[in-house]
Structure 1
Amino acid sequence: MSLEARIARLEAYQAIERLIADLGHGFDSGPSATLLRGLFTADAVFTIDGYGVLAGADAIADGVAGNADTGFRWTLHYLVSPRIDLSADGRSAAVAFMLWEAATAASGRAYWIGGSYAATAVAAEDRWRFASLTLGADLISHYPEGWHDKPAALDQA
C-alpha cells in the first residue's frame, strides 16, 4: 500500500472517531437537531434497541431532539472503545463503540444507561456520516437518589 493510501486510511479513521464524538455532542446539546442532522445520510436508519426505528436524517434529528419532552431531557454520553473496520476502498466502515450514559428522564427520574452501538459509516463529500446506527441498551437502571448539584468545595480529608 502506498504512503498516500496509508495516510488516507489514517485520516478516515480519525474522521470516523470525530463522527462518533460529534454524535455524543449532538445528543448532549439539548439534544440538537441541527447538530445531529449533519451526522447522518439522507436515507440513514437509527434503530433504538426495542424502542423504535427512525429513518432518514431529518426524522433521526427531529425524533431524537423531540424525545427531550417525553424521553430523556438531559444526557451525558460517554462513547468509548471505538472499533473501526475500514473497507478496502476506504469509502465505508463497519463501526462499533460502547455507551455509558447518565440521563434524566422527562419525569425528572435519573438513570444509568449502558450498552453498545453498531454502525455503518460512509464517506460523503464534506465529511463521514452514519448510514446506519443501532443501539443495544444492555442496562437502563433508575438511580433513585437522583443527581445532586455540584458542591461549592470538595471534602477535605
Structure 2
Amino acid sequence: MSDSTLELRVRRMEAFEAIRQLIATYAVGADRKNDPAILGPLFSETAIWEADGVAQLKGRDAIAEGLSGLAREFVTWSLHYMVSPLITIDQDVQRATCRWYLWELCTMKHEGGVADTWYGGWYDSRLSIHDGEWLFDWVKLDPRLASANQTPWTGKTPIDLDATPPFELR
C-alpha cells in the first residue's frame, strides 16, 4: 500500500468520525432547546435548514436563531436519538452526504396545552470542509411520525439536559 493510499484512507476515516461528531453535537444542541451557541457553529455561512411545512432557514445565523425560535414556540423539552448515520464521502474527501434517522421523545405545544410526543423521521444532509472543519451545508428534516404518548412523561425532565456536560462540545 502506498503512502498516498494510506493517507487517503486515514483522511476518510477522520471524515467519518468528524461527521458523526457533528451529528451528535447537533443532538446536544437540539436537546438544549435548540441552543444557537451550539447549533450555529455546525453550519456553513450559506447553509440551508429545512423541514416541509415547518421552516426553510438560509444562512448560519438564520438557522441558529430560527431553530431556537422553533424550540421556544413549539417544543418545551426533547431528547434526540440520532440513529444509523449513512455517510458517503466524495473521492476528494472535501464533500459528503449523510442520512440519519431521528427518534425523539419531546413535549410539544399544541392548541390548548402541551403533549408528550413520540416524533420520528430522518435527516438528509450535505456537508463539506470549511477552513479545515466539516460543516453542514444543507440539512432537511423529513418527519414521518408525530404521536402523542398515551402516558405522559413523569412531569419533570427525565434527564437534566441543561446540566454542564462532563466534556467539551467540539
Do both proteins adopt the same fold according to a TM-score greater than 0.5, normalized to the shorter chain? yes
Q: Which residue does 1:103 correspond to in 2? A: 106
The number of aligned residues is: 150
Q: Which residue of 2 aligns with 1:114?
A: 120
Q: CA RMSD in A?
A: 1.4
Contact 1:67–1:73 (Cα < 8 Å) also in 2: no
**Residue matched to 2:143:** 137
Looking at structure 1, the residues matched to 150 and 59 of structure 2 have their Cα atoms a distance apart, in angstroms, of 36
Misfit runs of 4+, over 3 Å:
none
* Secondary structure of the corresponding residue to residue 2 of structure 1: helix
Which stretches in structure 1 are left out of the alignment for 5+ residues?
A: 151-157
CA distance in 2 between counterparts of 1:68 and 1:117 reads 18
Amino acid at match of 1:142: A
| SS of residue matched to 1:38 | helix
The two structures have a TM-score, normalised by structure 2, of: 0.83
Q: Distance in 2 between matches of 1:26 and 1:127?
A: 18
Paired-residue identity, %: 35
CA distance in 2, matches of 1:98, 1:69: 24
Report the alpha carbon displacement of residue 124 of structure 1 after superposing the two structures with TM.
1.5
Deviations along 1:4-32, one digit per CA (max 9) or x if unpaired, are: 11101100010001011011011011321
Native 8 Å contact 1:109 1:144 kept in 2: no
What are the ranges of 5 or more consecutive residues in structure 2 without an aligned counterpart?
157-170
TM-score w.r.t. length of structure 1 = 0.90
Equivalent position to 1:12, from 9, 15, 27: 15
2:76 partner amino acid: R
Amino acid at match of 1:67: L
Are 1:48 and 2:54 an aligned pair?
no
Deviation at 1:144, TM superposition (A): 3.8
